[in-house]
Structure 1
């Protein structure tokens, strides 16, 4: 539907309420982006009217919550609106689409909106939703998988310390996703490195799972092994990078790095042997 063809009318802000199905987290009025929006409105007025739907008493915002919040904080009495009749489902879809176009939703806000549409409201499946908002089924389902992450990992996604591709690799990880998330952020691991680490951890999970696997001593050893594996993955990247260096120095550089890699690998084997054979207190 072409909303630009709708007549623009001024409506008192007190007659307008936020959506009862918000797709973004509350807050954010004091951000730099909000400050810029308020300055623009003060200088040029509201360039893009908000979209509302009529209620029995007053109106409800369908699109334009930030513009509404900016005008309210500027103590404006009226705001320019386009009015149109929408059902709950269509209003929710328009909210999602507008925020996707403006790129104002973070990945977890998207995930929660998709989850509510499919599960809480039961308005359709992933296939139906993806078609209505112009995204692929894979895109929608991948976003929804982010909700399976522990809160600490989610916080890294929200803070943009970890991107969606990295976060998705942690879903269903063989070890604690919380610990892995910290390692990903601290060591700036790539998706390739995360996958390699997961494969190595998955191979050793069954062998390492003993009665004392939750003991403090075992956790220390496991973290040491994990640290060495991360270093080994980093070394592989350096070896790859060395192939692009000056031919005169390349051979010596690669030989040095491969020697370092062998040492790290030897340390990993030694740490695994230590964990296997170390004295353990009888319970």
Structure 2
């Protein structure tokens, strides 16, 4: 306990160095820079702005609340990383979820590693650090790779060394950006996986990609079934292979026995798909705002 208190007090002591306008640290060669740069410093949370280079664009409210609850109980376990912009002004390099959750909790200060970096270095640090995270979706990762190659002018070979990934892995991610935006959104929302996307990217025309994507979602096709469908499409060179009726999977009895009652209760024809592992989807169509509101009332009770 005493050790943790000493570390926190040290961080606060270092923060005082950053609030001296007569000795403002702007470069690694400035006085006291060696005491601050690379160390954990307690920063006023309102002195930090979000990073415009942040590759993540989706922040799940539920998981953010869970993180906030953890911070409320245990505090910040892993400091964020910031770069110094100006006197008592910083910008996030990594750790935006921790930063957002800390604000939700109402923290006034937050532990941070301080870096001195220009815009290009900040972009590279933010993208490379975020690519290493496990919770980015495939499109966020692909966009990060794209920005690194475009804005920093780094080759895929150099990029593979920098992020510790095979060049083929980077290429596979970046190819996903050739998909129609509707499919990219579907991948980000979890309707299809990266495996589905890698199969669909072999279709040149966006309208054909969309046609196959809609069939995947409607019928709950697996990655393997999607690969076979794409292969058939390319061999037949037309839409006929997409529109061919596939063998209808037999639904488990606990589903088939209840489809009629669900349809009757909702007053719309629902479509249910099920996979061998027990997972499935219930698709409930609506054709107007009024019908959506009616269905919402039935499903939520209000």
TM-score, normalization by structure 1: 0.67
Tell me how far apart the structure 2 counterparts of residues 34 and 20 of structure 1 sit (CA, whole Å): 20
5+ residue gaps, structure 1, are 209-218, 236-283
1:138 match = 168
* Structure that is richer in helix per residue: 1
State the number of aligned residues.
211
Contact 1:174/1:201, CA 8 A, preserved across alignment: no
**RMSD of aligned alpha carbons:** 2.5
Tell me how far apart the structure 2 counterparts of residues 133 and 90 of structure 1 sit (CA, whole Å): 15
Out of 36, 52, 55, the position equivalent to 1:23 is 55
5+ residue gaps, structure 2, are 1-36, 251-302
2:154 match = 124
Alpha-carbon deviations, 1:135-166, whole Å to 9, x = none? 11111111111111112211221111211111
1:180 match = 212
Alpha-carbon deviations, 1:203-261, whole Å to 9, x = none? 322xx6xxxxxxxxxx8xx48x7232x329x79xxxxxxxxxxxxxxxxxxxxxxxxxx
Matches within 5 A, 1:155-170: 155-170=185-200
Tell me how far apart the structure 2 counterparts of residues 170 and 145 of structure 1 sit (CA, whole Å): 10
2:95 match = 64
Out of 94, 98, 111, the position equivalent to 2:125 is 94
Out of 209, 214, 226, the position equivalent to 2:243 is 226
Is it true that 1:73 corresponds to 2:104 in the alignment? yes
Q: Quick one: structure 1 residues 203 and 65, their matched pair in 2 at CA, closer, same or farther if it must change by over 3 Å? A: same
Matches within 5 A, 1:147-162: 147-162=177-192
1:279 match = none
2:116 match = 85
Larger radius of gyration: 1
Contact 2:142/2:174, CA 8 A, preserved across alignment: yes
